[in-house]
Copies of this chain bind each other. A is one copy, B any other.
Amino acid sequence: MKRALFEEDHEQFRELATEFNAREISGKYAQWEKDHQIPREVWQSAGENGLLGLAVPEEFGGMGIDDYRFRVVLDEEFVRSGHLAVALAFHLHDDLVLPYLLSYGSAELKAKWLPRMVDGSTITSCALTEPGAGSDLRAVRTKAVRDGDDWLISGQKTFIGNAAFGDASLVLARTDGESSRAGAHSFSLFMVERSEGYSNGKPFDKMGLRASDTAELFFDEVRVSATDLVGEVGQGLSYVKAQLPQARLALAVAASAICSASFEQALEHTKNRSTFGQVLTEYQNTRFELADLKTEAHVTQSFVDRAVLAFNEGELNASDAAEVKLWASESAKKLSDKALQLHGGYGYIMEYPIAQSFTASRLLTIFGGTSEIMRETIGRAL
């Protein structure tokens, strides 16, 4: 069964992505893992190559691509080569921060931020989570208090990707004066630039995706102008909710790419290794494992591709997106684990893409809404 998702444009874009990946990342990635950092030049080069801010309209320097399939192509290229932290870093920028600005930002806000995001000169993070607020964002305690026309932001965020080396962050903060228990309208979103009072912790020592600089962010009365309020006061949570489908679809796309790459890598490895005088693929167990890998990779791809098309047509609702994210992330976890096993000891060494995929997958059922939250979302919609 041929895959029916892509058209010629996408394949051309893939060439660009493949070339970028080979030129700018391969061979350097292992060092970035040690540094917990993707160098700034890579962002700039990505910007120059048109790989950032895909959906940004031409007037703000972008290409105005609202066909999500181009993002799919990009993710697939990074995943295939085991450069998963790059996939994540760009994902945070393009799928988590950008859509808020595009959908709710004022003209000024767009003019201020979009061009810098497109050219890669500004690296952004999306700061929702706090030590006491992960699945449950109503527990967010970071606050924004009016000071004249400005806002002063104070609080602590944690587990924020692109935080240690990023330039600005989309921050969810309480704006209701914290009178009492937070309600649906207690929160707002702000674009906060690194400036006085804005600091970060050291990158966390994570299981995988080490080149991604996940860190704490601290805001101590950071001054933010009225322009940087995203949309309306009090709409923060409803915006977050509205943007969940894209965020979750994006993770499903990466997860599905991990499934396919896992199969490919396991096939490659087992075709080229022998034990007891037999190529690994000559063992029935190996063949059966590969057959299961191939089948579930196809299954997952069918489902995610269908969701990508639905999203393009504006028809992926919250429950659908939860299904796709739940399935694809659990599937990536399972398939990368099986594929790793077929690598024997090599699968345990981080320079192998399968080790990157496996450790990245372990985040996917947690980040962007845990599998439990996905089940809750689907279950409540029944």
Of B136, B284, B298, B345, the residue contacting A367 (CB under 8 A) is: B345
A218 within 8 Å of B (CB atoms): no
Contact B135 A275 (CB under 8 A): yes
Instruction: Name the residue in A283, A295, A327, A341 with the highest tally of chain B Cβ atoms < 10 Å from its Cβ.
Output: A295
Complex contacts, A2 vs chain B, CB 8 Å: 310, 315
Q: Are B344 and A363 in contact (CB under 8 A)?
A: no
Are B205's CB and A1's CB within 8 A?
no
A90 beta carbon closer than 8 Å to chain B? no
* Pick from B1, B341, B351, B379: contact of A365, CB under 8 Å: B341
Known: A205-B30, A327-B299. A375 touches B159 (CB 8 A): no
Size bracket of the A interface: 35 or more
* Stretch in contact with the other chain, from A67-75, A101-109, A191-199, A286-294: A286-294
Task: Give residues of chain A (260-292) contacting chain B, Cβ–Cβ below 8 Å.
Answer: 267, 275-276, 281, 283-285, 287-288, 290-292
Task: Report which of B30, B139, B306, B375 forms a contact with A302, defined as CB distance below 8 A.
Answer: B306
Partner of A287, one of B135, B206, B292, B375: B375
Q: Report if A117 contacts B (CB, 8 A).
A: no
Minimum C-beta distance from A349 to chain B (A): 5
Q: Is A95 an interface residue (CB 8 A)?
A: no
Residue in B closest to A367 when the chains form the complex, CB atoms: B345
CB within 8 A of A1: which of B285, B294, B306, B327? B306
Quick check: is A316 within 8 A (CB to CB) of the other chain? yes
> Measured between C-beta atoms, what is the minimum distance from A6 to chain B in Å?
15
**Interface residue A184 (Cβ < 8 Å from any Cβ of B):** no
How far apart are the CA atoms of A366 and B339 in the complex, in Å? 12
Please choose the segment from A9-17, A20-28, A46-54, A354-362 that sits at the chain B interface, where 4 or more of its residues have CB less than 8 A away.
A354-362
User: Which secondary structure dominates where chain A touches chain B?
Assistant: helix
Shortest CB-to-CB span from A333 to chain B, Å, is: 8
**Which residue of the partner chain, among B205, B341, B363, contacts A351 with CB atoms under 8 Å?**
B205
Residue interface bits A327-344, CB-to-B below 8 A is 1, else 0:
100000100010011001
B375 touches A291 (CB 8 A): yes
Contact flag A134-B205 (CB < 8 Å), given A299-B303, A375-B287: no
* A323 contact set on B, CB distance < 8 A: 291, 294-295, 298-299
**The one of B288, B290, B372, B379 that contacts A290, using a Cβ cutoff of 8 Å:** B379
**What residues on B are CB-neighbors of A310 within 8 Å?**
1-2
Quick check: B302 and A380 within 8 Å, CB to CB? no
CB distance from A79 to the nearest CB of B (A): 17
Residues of B within 8 A of A341 (CB): 365-366, 370-372
Q: Counting CB contacts under 8 A, is A374 at the interface?
A: yes
Q: CA separation between A23 and B302, bound complex, in Å? A: 37
Inter-subunit contact B379/A288 (CB<8 Å): yes
CA distance A362 to B343 in the complex (A): 12
User: Of B207, B267, B284, B378, which one neighbours A295 at CB under 8 angstroms?
Assistant: B378
User: Which of B136, B374, B375 touches A275 (beta carbons < 8 Å)?
Assistant: B136
- Minimal beta-carbon separation of A320 from chain B (angstroms): 5
B-side contacts of A303, CB under 8 Å: 298-299, 302-303
